[in-house]
């Protein structure tokens, strides 16, 4: 299975499981907290796991349309066992959209 096939498969499973394509609703169902913060101009969003709490932080400087795309992108991290998750102190995941 190619990477794009794998990503499409994970996205399809999530949308079927929660009967929605809305990434905010999927986050709510998965208990992933979404936070807004001014992250400057280089970082658009990141995911981190801390104290058993999954979090997505979105830059307040990006539009709501881009935020929705970023939430969908970041949702892949808590749902992929092959990708390591980091605490905020270890690393940032920089998204270039």
Structure tokens at 54: 């999954």
At 37, is the secondary structure helix, strand, or coil? strand
| Model pTM score | 0.75
What pLDDT score was predicted for residue 52?
A: 87
Q: What is the C-alpha separation between 95 and 57, in angstroms, rounded?
A: 12
The string of pLDDT tens digits covering residues 25-59 is: 999 999 999 999 999 999 999 998 888 889 999 99
The string of pLDDT tens digits covering residues 5-22 is: 888 888 899 899 999 999
DSSP class of residue 1? -
């Amino acid at each position: 299975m190619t990477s794009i096939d794998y990503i499409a498969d994970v996205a399809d499973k999530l949308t079927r499981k929660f009967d929605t394509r809305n990434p905010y609703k999927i986050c709510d169902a998965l208990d992933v907290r979404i936070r807004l913060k001014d992250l400057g101009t280089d970082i658009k969003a990141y995911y981190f796991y801390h104290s058993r709490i999954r979090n997505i932080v979105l830059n307040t400087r990006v539009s709501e349309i881009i935020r929705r795309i970023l939430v969908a992108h970041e949702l892949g991290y808590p749902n992929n066992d092959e990708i390591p998750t980091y605490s905020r102190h270890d690393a940032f995941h920089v998204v270039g959209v």
